[in-house]
Amino acid sequence: MIRYVAGRLLAFVPVLWVVATLTFALLRFLPGGPFDKEKTLPPEILRNLERRYALDGTLAEQYVDYLGRLVRFDLGPSYKYVGRDVTDILADALPVSVELGLLALVIALGGGISLGLAAGARHGSALDRSIGIATLFGVSAPSFVIGAGLILGVALGLDWLPAGLWEGPIYAILPALTLAALPLAYIAQLTRAQVVAVMDQDYVRTARAKGVTEGRVRRHHVLRNALLAVLTYFGPLLAILLTGSFVVEKIYAIPGMGRFFVTAVTNRDYPLVLGVTLVYAALVLVSNLAVDLLYAWLDPRIRVSGDPR
Instruction: Specify the 3-state DSSP secondary structure of 224.
Output: helix
pLDDT, tens digit, for every residue of 102-135? 899 899 988 988 898 888 878 888 888 999 899 9
Is pLDDT at 270 greater than 50 in this prediction? yes
pLDDT band at 197 (very low <50, low <70, confident <90, very high): confident
pLDDT, tens digit, for every residue of 51-86? 887 777 788 888 998 888 888 888 888 888 878 889
Query: In angstroms, how far is CA 7 from the centroid of its own chain?
Result: 24
Sign (positive/negative) of CA torsion 276, 281, 284, 290? negative
Q: Between the CA of residue 214 and those of 72, 116, 219, 280, what are the distances in Å?
A: 57, 17, 9, 42
- In angstroms, the CA 27 to CA 269 distance is 9
What pTM was estimated for this model as a whole?
Answer: 0.77
Say which residue, 255 or 200, is predicted with more confidence.
Answer: 255
Is pLDDT at 279 greater than 50 in this prediction? yes
Q: What integer pLDDT is reported at residue 243 of this predicted model?
A: 59
- In angstroms, the CA 19 to CA 178 distance is 29
Closest to 287 measured CA to CA, from 250, 224, 232: 232
Min mean pLDDT across 157-166, 182-191, 198-207 is at 198-207
- Three-state DSSP string of 151-207: HHHHHHHCCCCCCCCCCCHHHHHHHHHHHHHHHHHHHHHHHHHHHHHHHCCHHHHHH
